[in-house]
Structure 1
């Protein structure tokens, strides 16, 4: 069933105090004030010299005949529906991660050149999945990756609960659809993850590593490269996960499909 975001006035302000939305406090006025930010307000946050800008998605704009990604690549125009949660979250992700967004756009353009505007290749599907629901995960301990590899969710999120608090494994949310879904309290969130293995790294380094790998065509060539990560299992991300029973029966915890294997993480 397609997700329908709540009306702006119906959003419980508490959701902005919990992950993942609490990590976007620099855009708090846009997210929490009664009025939607204007296109001009969004554009005012671009660094000087940026190629892109947000533009209202109108019928006139769409009549240019360009694919959404082509419009960004050739004209720097990001079509944005006004008073729309999905597109507002897309805008703030662009502002925080412009280089990663540009890398995805370039890869999309390469695929459009190969298959045309009406078809979708497997790389395009992978790129879209990551754009919508992507998370970047930094893993510092191999034993945690081993649990993740076999979908041992009880082990990853309950037996090693402290690992999510002490930095042994950490998550950076990139997908704007994930942020939109987080507007609904109690919703079970599952990210599409790319992993980085590093003994000591900052999130900015991991993002740069992922950006380079995507830009060079090393990753996001197939949707099966993406690892599912039930974000609702992380301490503080869902009220129910304080009980062990959650980690044995939660609907977001799916077993590993027979024959499914994940590519090794990038090493940093």
Structure 2
């Protein structure tokens, strides 16, 4: 089996499961990391053992499995192939490592994204551009941060780019009225080597206050169901997202314990309020 677009072992070794945004992935991810450091065949085998145990499926009900990138037939579209066969072409790199992780963390969301992408491909074919809906679906898949909130006021603060209220004066509300969970696999790849300006596209989800007294598995299940229904019921546009500098999330980065961290206007931009 030829290996396509592989990362060096050093790239996989850099994954730090102690980072708070990776904590929900750590148990399965550490096993996959060990397999990826061994070789490509061992890595794919590990993914498929877990996929069979979890009985995952695509939006069209196909049992999910992971195949080598080179096994994608010539001329076949990535999303269309997944929808038709259940087989996810997977390279031996960090980008696809985190993509596979999201199929396990949020299987309904991933299935909904795939179903919508495949539907667009069926209807319009593959052209030089994706089109507005496919662009928005790709943005979600690659760079989304799920922002769960039980307080509409907090959600509005995020939409208004009011970073001082969101991160400074409202700091104590994190974990009680709102939280962030990274979904986008390209964003997770970037955060293997974190940098201050790293920004995700926040997808805001209103949740009941009881959400914040639930455990991690219950929270993920609630978000998975709600967001999948949102996507299928009212497909997204790029305007539905709000930018979120992820290292500003309280508890995610030691430097943000100093409130001066948020004074950097090149990262925490004034946005709509400034206009």
TM-score, reference length from structure 2:
0.82
Tell me how far 1:39 sits from its aligned partner: 0.9
- Alpha-carbon deviations, 1:116-146, whole Å to 9, x = none? 2123110100000000011221112233123
In the alignment, structure 2 segments of 5+ residues that lack a partner are 1-5, 58-62, 212-218
Contact 2:255 2:261 in 1 (8 A): yes
Residue number in structure 2 paired with 1:265: none
Partner of 1:195, secondary structure, is: strand
1:184 corresponds to 2:189: no
State how 1:183-202 maps to structure 2 within 5 Å. 183-200=192-209, 201=211, 202=219
Aligned-residue RMSD, C-alpha: 2.6
State the SS of the aligned residue for 1:38. Answer: helix
Give yes or no for the alignment of 1:57 onto 2:69. yes
1:39 corresponds, among 21, 28, 44, to 44
Q: Over residues 82-118 of structure 1, what are the superposed CA-to-partner deviations in whole Å (9 max), with x where a residue is unaligned?
A: x311111111111222221110011112211333212
Alignment check: 8 A CA contact 1:186 1:238 kept: no
Q: Deviations over 1:14-50 (max 9, x none)?
A: 8321121222112212236743552111100012474
How far off is 1:184 after superposition?
Answer: 0.2
Q: Which of 88, 104, 115 lines up with 1:95 in the alignment? A: 104
The structure whose residues are more often helix, as a share, is: 2
The question of 1:253 aligning with 2:268 is answered: yes
Distance 1:240 1:259, change over 3 A: closer
TM-superposed CA distance for 1:183, in Å, is: 0.7
Cα distance in 2 between the residues matched to 1:246 and 1:169: 20
SS of alignment partner, residue 164 of structure 2: helix
Give the CA deviation at 1:192: 1.3
Deviations 1:202-239 (A, max 9, x none): 342122111111122x031x211111112111122223
- Gaps (5+ residues) in structure 1? 261-268
Is residue 79–residue 117 contact of structure 2 (8 Å, CA) maintained in 1? Answer: yes
Determine helix, strand or coil for the equivalent of 1:137.
strand
Greater RCO (CA < 8 Å, at least 6 residues apart): 1
Tell me how many residue pairs correspond in the alignment: 251
The answer to whether the Cα contact below 8 Å between 2:247 and 2:253 also exists between their aligned partners in 1 is yes
Give the distance between the partners of 2:99 and 2:84, measured in 1 at CA. 19
Which residue of 1 is the match for residue 243 of structure 2?
Answer: 228
In structure 1, the residue matched to 2:30 is 28
Pair 1:209-2:226 in alignment: yes
